[in-house]
Amino acid sequence: MSDGAGAVERPQSTRGNEKHKDREWQIERGVAIRAGFYIFGTHLFAGFVWLLFYLGEHAHK
C-alpha cells in the first residue's frame, strides 16, 4: 500500500509554456513574412500592369 508519503511533488515546469510561446512566435513570424511577400508581390504585379497600360497609352500608332 502506498500512501504517497515518499512521493515528492515537483512544481509545474514553465518550460512547456516557453516552448508553446516560442512556437506561437515562430508561427506569427511566418505569417507576417508570408503576408509581406504577398503584399510585395501584389504591388509588383499591379505596378507591372500599370506600366503596360502607360506604355500602351503612349505608344506611337
Supply 42's cell numbers.
Answer: 501584389
Domain count, the chain: 1
Match 503596360 to its residue by C-alpha cell. Answer: 52
3-61 confidence digits (pLDDT tens): 556 666 655 555 667 777 788 888 999 999 999 999 999 999 999 999 999 999 998 87
Instruction: Evaluate whether residue 55 is within a structural domain.
Output: yes
1 versus 50: the higher-pLDDT residue is 50
pLDDT at 61: 73
The verdict on residue 10 lying in a domain is no
Q: How many CB atoms lie within 10 A of CB 19?
A: 11
Rounded-to-integer distance, Cα 40 and Cα 37, Å: 5
Q: Establish if 2 belongs to a structural domain.
A: no
- Provide the pLDDT for residue 4: 57
Domain that holds residue 55: 18-61
Q: d(Cα 51, Cα 57) in Å, to the nearest integer? A: 10
Instruction: Locate 3 and state its grid cell.
Output: 500512501
Cell of 27: 508561427
In a domain, 5, yes or no: no
State the pLDDT at residue 21. Answer: 79
- Inside any domain, residue 9: no
Whether 37 maps to a domain, the answer reads yes
